[in-house]
Amino acid sequence: MTADDRTPVTTTRSPAAEHDPIQHYEIRVKGHLTPRWSAWFDGLTVETDAADGTTAIRGPVVDQAALHGLLQKLRDVGIPLLSLTQLPFNTPTEPTAHPIPKEN
Position 103 in a domain: no
Position 101 in a domain: no
CATH number at residue 48: 3.30.70.1560
Q: What is the pLDDT of residue 74?
A: 95
Position 98 in a domain: no
Position 36 in a domain: yes
Predicted confidence (pLDDT) per residue in 36-55, tens digit: 999 999 899 999 998 999 99
Judge whether 86 and 80 are in contact, CB under 8 Å.
no
Predicted confidence (pLDDT) per residue in 79-96, tens digit: 999 999 999 876 665 554
pLDDT of 16 over the 50 cut: no
Position 2 in a domain: no
Q: What is the pLDDT of residue 21?
A: 83
Position 35 in a domain: yes
The count of domains in the chain is 1
Report pTM: 0.68
